[in-house]
Amino acid sequence: LAPWVPVVGLEIHAQISSNSKLFSGSQVQFAAPPNSLVSFFDASLPGTLPVLNRRCVEAAVMTGLALNCSINKKSLFDRKHYFYADLPAGYQITQQRVPIAVNGSLSYSLCIDNKMSQMVTKTVRIKQIQLEQDSGKSLHDDTRSQTLVDLNRAGVGLMEVVMEPDMCCGEEAAAAVRELQLILQTLGSSQAVMAEGQLRVDANVSVHHPGEPYGVRTEVKNINSIRFLAKAIDYEIQRQIEELENGGTILNETRAFDSKLGCTVPMRDKEGKQDYRFMPEPNLPPLILYDAKSLPANMNHQQVINIDWIHERLPDLPSVKRKKLVEQYGILPEHSFTLLNEDGLGEFFESVVKQTQMKPKKVIGWILKDLLSYLKQHSLTVKESPVSSFLLADLLNLLEKKEISSTAAKQVLAELWKGEGKTPLEIVKEQKLELLQDQKELEQICQAVIDGHENE
């Protein structure tokens, strides 16, 4: 059988972290009472007009720069028309013709064969980033044959990040999304928490034989976590391969991921192809951005956005942070990945290193093996850890000074997890875990053991 080449592209919607919505002043807040954050414009009251939120533009520029994009100094807004209960105006304002950022790239790392020690770096091209409005939420109440509409989310700013079909499997997609998530969180442009709908990922999947043109692609939606993203993609790839090998065809359709069954199913709603009748948004002039060169001399700097100014103030991106950790502390690259992957773990590690004489290369083992596994076992975040960096440093100092063995140290750690407020030293004393340094005492104990087992 000829080999199959799977092709995966992604469309990611990241909710912009801002106080107010993209084109109106109503607040952005998760899980507020229904329809409590809706301005006249959000409700599409006739005669209301969009006013662009500066913070949202800055967030998109930051994100574009972090993803190595060209920022378009002039971008345009368009209307995308369709009728749906959660779209009050009957159209969404988006950027279809000229988006704010194009032609970027994202580098991400994967472990080969699940071995952390063998990491490979891959790149996915970013086609574009566009600003657009989020829709409201509609809930179908079948028992009462009604649809309930909540417009709190209607009009919230989104950045749509389009990743080219450069990925080949669920694992790659998951790693790319994870890295994007970290970048967004570092920038602060989006909190990117998938569970709260701040990061939504749709996957475009197709398969073909090498040398042949790309196959028909399907769009997979309704993916609620990075883990499910990988599962959904891998399932869909398999499904397509099996279908084709059995002589079937792939429909250009939208499928939903069913997390309970672990499979993708066709979505009822989408019938045929929609014509969105794109039209320029007449109420918003072109969005003009400046850089140091093009900035007019007498322009009020409150009125404009200077791309270079934003570029100068970008924080260290995850890739830079990892490099610095490796260089500063001599840890392995794969260690730096885990440190950044877990919220707060990097800071915890650095804090421990500051408070102990133990070399960072040794500390890292305690962080990644002992602390992290304990946290995972109990589904705790670093912030929720009953063992503080201070306590752990304290313990590691005892070990470093050879006052206890490493076996004993693990025992003490287990005790510390109970969070009973005891210090490592107190536990060592309680459980008599001190390493005996006295030669004479050691001989006495050994002799006692031998004497007690004369017959063996």
- Write out the residues near other proteins by the rule CB under 8 A: 40, 43-52, 79, 81, 83, 85, 88-91, 145, 147, 149, 275, 277-279, 282-285
The continuous run of DSSP H or E covering 8 comes out as strand 5-15
Residue type, 94: T
Let me know: does 99 contact 75? Beta carbons within 8 Å.
yes
Question: Rounded to 5 degrees, what angle do the CA atoms 339, 340, 344 make?
Answer: 80
Q: How far is the CB of 348 from other proteins (least distance, A)?
A: 46
Token look-up 């279809």 returns 96
Short-list 175, 200, 321, CA closest to 257: 200
Q: How far is the CB of 281 from other proteins (least distance, A)?
A: 9
The continuous run of DSSP H or E covering 164 comes out as strand 157-167
Sequential DSSP letters for 224-256:
-SHHHHHHHHHHHHHHHHHHHHTT------EEE
Q: How far is the CB of 299 from other proteins (least distance, A)?
A: 11
Question: Rounded to 5 degrees, what angle do the CA atoms 206, 208, 212 make?
Answer: 135
Question: Rounded to 5 degrees, what angle do the CA atoms 350, 353, 354 make?
Answer: 90
Tokens read off for 422: 């005891």
CA 73/CA 54 separation, integer angstroms: 15
Nearer to other proteins, 47 or 421 (CB): 47
Nearer to other proteins, 16 or 89 (CB): 89
CA 443/CA 456 separation, integer angstroms: 19
Let me know: does 270 contact 254? Beta carbons within 8 Å.
yes
CA 241/CA 247 separation, integer angstroms: 10
Nearer to other proteins, 146 or 294 (CB): 146
Q: How far is CA 107 from the centre of its chain?
A: 14
Nearer to other proteins, 146 or 406 (CB): 146
Short-list 285, 203, 216, CA closest to 250: 216
Tokens read off for 209: 């034989």
Nearer to other proteins, 41 or 329 (CB): 41
Nearer to other proteins, 43 or 425 (CB): 43
Beta bridge partners of 255: 220, 266
Nearer to other proteins, 284 or 314 (CB): 284
Q: How far is the CB of 272 from other proteins (least distance, A)?
A: 13
Q: How far is the CB of 202 from other proteins (least distance, A)?
A: 21
Nearer to other proteins, 46 or 210 (CB): 46
Q: How far is the CB of 85 from other proteins (least distance, A)?
A: 5
Beta bridge partners of 420: none
Q: How far is the CB of 138 from other proteins (least distance, A)?
A: 9
Nearer to other proteins, 79 or 153 (CB): 79
Q: How far is the CB of 283 from other proteins (least distance, A)?
A: 5
The Cα-based distances of 57 to 99, 190, 324, 363, 386 in angstroms read 11, 12, 30, 42, 40
Rg (CA), the chain: 28
139-171: buried (b, 16+ CB within 10 Å) or exposed (e) per residue?
Answer: eeeeeeeeeebbbbbbbbbbbbbbbbbbbbbbb
Q: How far is the CB of 96 from other proteins (least distance, A)?
A: 11
Q: How far is the CB of 88 from other proteins (least distance, A)?
A: 6
Q: How far is the CB of 188 from other proteins (least distance, A)?
A: 26
Nearer to other proteins, 75 or 198 (CB): 75
Q: DSSP class of residue 393?
A: H
